[in-house]
Structure 1
Amino acid sequence: MIFLQPKSGNRYDITIKDLFADGTEDLINYFSDIRATVVNDLKIEFPQVETRFSDLVVEAMSEQGPLAIHLEFQSHNDREMPYRMLRYALEIHKTYRLPVYQVVIYLGQREMNMAGQLHYRLGTENMLDYRYRLVDLGKLNYEELRNTPYQQLRSLLPLVDREKRNRDKEKFLRQCVEDIIASNLDQEAKKTALFRAEIFAGLIYDKQTIDAVFQEVEKMLGIEESAGYQRIFEKGMKKGMEEGRKEGREESLVDITIRLLIKKFRKLPKEYVVRIKEQDTYVLQQLIDNIFDINELSELDDYLH
């Protein structure tokens, strides 16, 4: 499972599933070679594979009948990918007794270099012919994705057209933002798409470039006030808090609090960092619970000892 930790300062853990909770069907119909209607999410753990949870598994209906669709998002080349995907497919099929359609969507900065199949034949009865779909976002044509009817997927624009994005850098990223703003999405959906685009940009671009492109847009459109932003932000916050409680470490809450405040205010003066590290669990949880009500750094003084 990919946990996105962009260079722009969005350091909390976010999964692709979180980002596209309202656009799973768009992802499937754009990146697969079948047309399907999502029925419901499938919950599954993989106790004997490297990553215990796959990125996205749903039950769907297609022209071929009911099936499970598994989308796996990969940010780096992994020569073991075919073995991982085969184990995922077997576990999903064993659990739900559904045929499994799989897609690996590669989001990495470098050229994709992974196999999409396992094949051998021994004698007349022993053989393996296993395949899955591989998509390298960096090879997708920019105009093709920009013009797709699935306009929410414009948030992936910063990851396409590897040669052009590497050549034009900031100019390319600005074009991505402009094309999202010019889309037919309503204002709230545009805010969510721009927030997602900023997160995905963190996989490719440096912090300075991302800040140069997105800071003005965030202020102009009020991205941090959008429902999509808050839902994802709060989910990452909740996940971090749960992990902190599980590990029994107060340091985890300190780290979460600092990261959230840096995300909200871009900078956190050293004096506040020092003071936050001195707070007890109750104060830290109060800060986290009220993060959206704190609008000025000076308001932290109301919470800190």
Structure 2
Amino acid sequence: MPEPTASLRRRRLVRGGSAVLVLAAVAGYGVVQYTSSPGPAQPPHCTVAGEGETASFTMRPRQAANAATIGAVGTARGLPERAITIAIATAMQESSLYNIDYGDRDSVGLFQQRPSQGWGTVEEIMDPVYSAGQFYDHLVEVEDYLTMPLTEAAQEVQRSAFPDEYAKHEPRASLLAAALTGRSPAALNCTVGEDGVDPFLAAEVPERIRAEFGELPVGADGELVTVGLPSAEHARRGWELAHWSVAHAAELGIERIQLGNRVWEAKRSREGWREDAARSDSALDGTGGGSMGDELVLSILAPPESGPATE
């Protein structure tokens, strides 16, 4: 991307109030190199930061994106973080967080649900939003699921032949849930390198948000997408959306995300969430506190009008 164009886009992205979540999407194909530190290129990965003595861990962007969808569907239903932890741990065991179209007998999808057992059609189950919703529908019917051991709650839903296997995923699922519910700010980073990302149509962003987060007050006007939120939810919901965006960055072609004075950029993604010097006076200080105004604004740059990129 020519530097004058990139500079112009950055100026457009930071206009407006101090409480903004900014996403930029650009067109372009190519082999994307992923690195977490200077040196040889590493495989595509996302990193979830641990707290205190809890170790961080990495995963593929597709796994992070599926986990983010599971988290969004759970919070859209008003479920607590514990429910999301159970769901993510279950999907880790059943499919390693990949939306696979095969499994034991007729099992498919993130949770290996079976059409023959009434979970839905194959097409429905292969939709991560639908399959996550089905899991939560059954989970909330389990009495005391929030207080029982995770492996027991998961087994009540799944009826697995290996019920003890869910427990081993709880530490990592807990870290992911903390990030994806916004409780742990700037805890999830995905590295996407400098070689470009797949094209993405900005017009689809509002529909993707509604499909995964529910009927948020999302408005679109050209390159601007606004999300109105109650004041009490700003910091946490802001980071929830920001982490969802970075988890889907490789898939959706997101070039830039800005939340208050914190910014993530694809071309500098190995640096993680950085403080934007131009926005250092933002009310959001990156610790999850502060007032963020009455709405989040997502500014999205559509692919060039010259047409979609070709392989």
TM-score (norm 2): 0.26
More helix by share: 1
The structure with more radius of gyration: 1
User: TM-score, normalised to structure 1's length?
Assistant: 0.27
